[in-house]
Amino acid sequence: MARAEWGSRLGFILAAAGSAVGLGAIWKFPYVAAQNGGGAFLLIFLVIVFTLGISLMIAEMSVGASTKKSPVGAYRKLGGKWWSSVGYIGVLCGFLILSFYSVVGGWTIAYIVKSIQGSILTTDPAVLSRTFDSFIADPVMPIWYHAAFMALTAGVILAGVQKGIERVSKHLMVMLFLLILILIARGLTLHGALDGVVTFLYPDFSKVTPTMIIEAMGLAFFSMSLGMGCMITYGSYASGETSIPNSARSVIGLTTLICFLSGLMVFPAIFVFNFNPLAGPGLTFITMPAVFSQMSGGQFFSILFFFLLFVAALTSSVSLMEVVVSFFIDEFQFPRMMTTVIMSILMFILGIGASLSLGVWKNYTLFGKNLFGLLDYVSSNLIMPFGGIMIAILVGWKAWPVISARLAYPDGTCPVWLPLFKFICRFVAPVLIFVILLQNL
């Protein structure tokens, strides 16, 4: 069976960028930047992204493009039988993340509905906090929204690579960008909005510490969907003529731009209304509705904001499910429809447990964490760093002859940056990601 391919380089870039731009890019990047010196953190983040981050992006895409296989087959082909276990771990990571990520994706749908109803348009964050807490603790409603989000994700996957993932990503990424620009434009018209922009961008170098640099490395590596096989899978659908380095640069640039624009979207509004920019994840579902309630046309912009979050969540969830589905298609020749339906049901069932662990099952813990927190911790803090280390070692050492040949120019000459890329993959990336892994532990 011929392997599916992207219909265009733009489709590949937008699909990969959609994978990287998840909910974290909208709420996590702005508040982490605020906690760590604003512009100073931004500068360090950019340096890391365009050195280490882009190296890992090229590494993952190259592995997929060179083998035309999903993570398990790619690792086996380039590294040997033992290396396939790394691919299995990556597939497991995608499965675990999507099981609880779909629950959060369901929350974005619920808040679109609540925005349309006007039930969250209040200026009191305490009321919004109680609304949010009671909603996620409800044993029924979040699961229905979780089911809806999982079904939408499965629907995109069922349509295939070109007609599903590529087509949807093209439209949704353009929509995401336009929604952010509209919300930025509205926020900047507010009196005092410039204070929020200054706080976001002003470099406070007194906050530059080793811990802050590690925080920037962690955010750079793992906000780009690296270490769990998404970019290997997407790279495997690239045609032989596709320039992996140019595509990786475009994906990194687009993802970083959206992170930056998210800060410009969030900070002016929350400063005008004197809310805490360090509110973290609660900024999304608790603080922002209070901000919108004080704006002219606030209900409209609240709907836009949560629809934007939904779009960001969907483009990421599609890439996670494709990692799992492509594994079964490649390894066992299972039909796409059967695989997608079965995996969606299994992830939905695990997600039910994750949702209930925030409410009626919250007293049931393992290693001091509820199921939701445990799934998040194991996948994001343990498996993804491990995957990042292993892809760097595979490319820098075991598979270097194959990868360097894929990255060479058509006439066989090597790009001037190739030795630096090799050095980063062999030595720099494994050591720095191991430092992050130790910090997570």
The CA-atom distances, in angstroms, between 266 and each of 230, 284, 287, 293, 328 are: 28, 9, 10, 15, 40
Q: Tell me how crowded residue 412 is: count the other CB atoms within 10 A of its CB.
A: 7
Q: What is the pLDDT of residue 282?
A: 66
Q: Where are the alpha helices (DSSP H) in 294-428?
A: 298-332, 336-356, 371-376, 384-393, 400-407, 418-423
**Structure-token pair, residue 89:** 């771990």
Domain 9-440 has CATH 1.10.8.100: no
Exposed/middle/buried for 79, CB within 10 Å: 0-12, 13-18, 19+? Answer: buried
Give the integer Cα–Cα distance in Å for 277 and 35: 9
Q: What is the pLDDT of residue 77?
A: 97
Q: What is the pLDDT of residue 204?
A: 86
pLDDT in tens, 23-67: 877 777 887 887 788 889 999 999 999 999 999 999 999 999 999
Q: What is the pLDDT of residue 38?
A: 84
Burial 286-297 (b: 16+ CB within 10 A, else e): bbbbbbbbebee
- State the DSSP string of 262-273: HHHHHHHHHHHT
Give the integer Cα–Cα distance in Å for 100 and 376: 8
User: How long is the chain?
Assistant: 441
Q: What is the pLDDT of residue 273?
A: 78
pTM above threshold 0.85: yes
3-state secondary structure (DSSP) of residue 366:
strand
Angle at alpha carbon of residue 37, lines to 221 and 181, rounded to 5°? 70
Q: What is the pLDDT of residue 357?
A: 96
Q: What is the pLDDT of residue 33?
A: 84
Q: Tell me how crowded residue 126 is: count the other CB atoms within 10 A of its CB.
A: 10
Q: What is the pLDDT of residue 149?
A: 98
User: What residues in the chain have per-residue pLDDT under 50?
Assistant: none
What is the C-alpha radius of gyration for the chain, rounded to an integer number of angstroms? 21
Q: What is the pLDDT of residue 278?
A: 66
Domain segments of the chain as ranges: 9-440
Q: Where are the alpha helices (DSSP H) in 159-284?
A: 167-188, 193-201, 210-222, 230-236, 244-272, 282
Give the integer Cα–Cα distance in Å for 86 and 136: 34
What are phi and psi for residue 365, nearest 5 degrees? -130, 160
What are phi and psi for residue 171, nearest 5 degrees? -70, -45
What are phi and psi for residue 60, nearest 5 degrees? -65, -45
Give the integer Cα–Cα distance in Å for 168 and 388: 28
* 314 closest CA partner among 220, 110, 173, 111: 173
